[in-house]
Amino acid sequence: MAAQDVTRAQESNKTSPLYDPRVRSIFFQVLLVLLLVLGIWWIVDNTIENLRRSNISTGFGFLRGRAGFDISTSLISYTSDSTYGRALLVGILNTLVVAITGIITATILGFLIGVARLSRNWLLRKIAMVYVEIFRNIPPLLVIFFWYLGVLAILPAPRDSIGLPFGSYLNSRGFYFPRFIWEQGAWLVLAGLAVGIVLTWFVARRAKVRQLATGQQFPVFWTGLGLIVGFPLLGFVLAGFPLTLEFPQAGTFNLTGGFNVKPEFLSLYLALSFYTAAFIAEIVRAGIMGVSKGQSEAASALGLHPGKVLRLVVIPQALRIIIPPLTSQYLNLTKNSSLAVAIGYPDLYAIGGTILNQTGQAIEIVVIFMVIYLSISLLTSLFMNWFNAKMALKER
């Protein structure tokens, strides 16, 4: 034994360091780092030289400069006298608005279509399939253009607006609907909502404790709905109906008053929702099909009725399969919102592009893009990971 070890040790000593994997790995990594450092040094050197030649200043000081351009859609107050930094903030908010509304609509639409694809009804199944196959296979930019140039741009001019229910109008300048104007005392409604939510939370907890202890169930859903709707209503009545509606009025050339959703936003929002919904539908379908049939059969055998089988057995398991790919679809939607630039919706990318044209500071703008898009991505995936962990199988 000992003799063998000795010979083996001698043998390994004899192998040349050329063939030692550790030596090789260190060598390659050092080589790579050297090449990388040289490359970066070359790039930085060239960049400095180029910037010096074209007289472009560096640094983020430009963010405090006067923007000088107008933005059509803005959530916060903005004029052309505001700073570049504020313009970028407007862009970030616009990106977030499109992303969030798009995600909500796409999720609802996607779940409906995904369930429809699994329906026993042949016609419904085929319609859902046609929808998915059409929208999965055309570029999102084309869908955006279709809504913007093909549908919304040829709507009638403001003077022949199409009247819709609830005093809203549709014309080539967008969608108009009544604006809510809250008067004094409106805080009572908000307070009522908060009280309702807190009470529902307590009721749900008590009901769960009681069910675990005694097995008796409590209609949490209806109670909660009553509390959450009832308290704000109570507040509304107590404060003396503090709400007036401002209806859009037809003027000679345009509609005045009311709340106006611009066609740029509408087409981006509709296109992104319709496009992403097709992908979400496929994810939902795969998720539900991934729950083995034995699960729902066993649930039925326990005497649960079909609605409860779906709610208590199938969906919780399907969600585990659905959530990770759903997260990446949400991220895709957020990133696709940068297509806004093609139709002139002022999102982060469009405003950044305008600023670049005015200041020429390409590197700073790209850094800002990277940081903001990466942090939106990271925040979304952190949230979805948290949700995923909450939904994950609890194994002992």
Partner 1 sequence: MQEHDMTWVRTEMALAEPPPRTEAGLVAWIRKNLFATPLDSLLTVFCALVVAWILPQILGWSIFNAVWTGTDRTACLTVDQGGSLPVGWSGACWAFVNAKFSQFMFGRYPIEERWRVILTAVIFVALLAPLLIPRAPYKRLNAILFFAVFPFVAFYLLVGGFFGLPYVETALWGGLLVTLVLSYVGIVVSLPLGIVLALGRRSKMPIIKLLCVIFIEAVRGVPLVTVLFMASFMLPLFVPPGMTFDKFLRALIGVALFASAYMAEVIRGGLQAIPKGQYEGADSLGLGYWQKMGLIVMPQALKLVIPGIVNTFIGMFKDTTLVLIISMFDLLGIVKQNLSDANWATPQTAKSGLVFAAIVFWLFCFGMSRYSIYMERRLDTGHRR
Residues of this chain that interact with partner 1 (CB under 8 A) are 25, 28-29, 32-33, 36, 43, 46-47, 49-51, 53, 119-124, 127, 133-134, 136-142, 145-146, 149-151, 153-154, 335-336, 338-339, 341-342, 349, 353, 356, 362-363, 366, 369-370, 373-374, 377-378
- Chain centroid to Cα 188, Å, comes to 31
Q: Which is nearer to partner 1, 47 or 292 (CB)?
A: 47
Q: Which is nearer to partner 1, 179 or 335 (CB)?
A: 335
Give 283: exposed, middle or buried? Use CB within 10 Å, 0-12, 13-18, 19+.
buried
Q: Which is nearer to partner 1, 164 or 370 (CB)?
A: 370
* Nearest distance, CB of residue 145 and partner 1, angstroms: 6
Beta-carbon count within 10 A of 361 CB = 22
Q: Which is nearer to partner 1, 312 or 374 (CB)?
A: 374
Q: Which is nearer to partner 1, 73 or 336 (CB)?
A: 336
* Nearest distance, CB of residue 253 and partner 1, angstroms: 21
Exposure string (b/e) for 137-175, b if CB count within 10 Å is 16 or more? eeebeebbbbbbeeebeebeebeebeeeeeebbbbebbb
Question: Taking Cα atoms as reference points, which of 325, 307, 303, 327 lies closest to residue 315?
Answer: 307
* Nearest distance, CB of residue 384 and partner 1, angstroms: 15
* Nearest distance, CB of residue 19 and partner 1, angstroms: 10
**Token pair listed for 141:** 């930019």
DSSP codes of every residue in 61-120: GGGGSB-----SS-SS---TTSBHHHHHHHHHHHHHHHHHHHHHHHHHHHHHHHHHHT-S
Question: Taking Cα atoms as reference points, which of 258, 105, 260 lies closest to residue 175?
Answer: 260
Residues 6 or more apart from 392 whose CB is under 8 A from it?
Answer: 320
Contact of 93 with 76, CB cutoff 8 Å? yes
* Nearest distance, CB of residue 282 and partner 1, angstroms: 11
Tell me how far apart the alpha carbons of residues 154 and 147 are, in angstroms, rounded to a whole number. 10
Alpha helix ranges (H) inside 239-314: 263-289, 293-301, 306-308
Beta-carbon count within 10 A of 383 CB = 12
Q: Which is nearer to partner 1, 118 or 181 (CB)?
A: 118
Q: Which helix (H) or strand (E) holds 239?
A: none
* Nearest distance, CB of residue 202 and partner 1, angstroms: 37
* Nearest distance, CB of residue 335 and partner 1, angstroms: 4
Q: Which is nearer to partner 1, 115 or 204 (CB)?
A: 115
* Nearest distance, CB of residue 214 and partner 1, angstroms: 35
Q: Residue holding tokens 């949230």?
A: 383
Tell me how far apart the alpha carbons of residues 304 and 136 are, in angstroms, rounded to a whole number. 37
* Nearest distance, CB of residue 302 and partner 1, angstroms: 23
Contact of 60 with 364, CB cutoff 8 Å? yes
Handedness of CA 387, 389, 392, 396 (dihedral sign): negative
* Nearest distance, CB of residue 8 and partner 1, angstroms: 17
Q: Which is nearer to partner 1, 25 or 72 (CB)?
A: 25
Q: Which is nearer to partner 1, 170 or 189 (CB)?
A: 170
Q: Which is nearer to partner 1, 133 or 160 (CB)?
A: 133
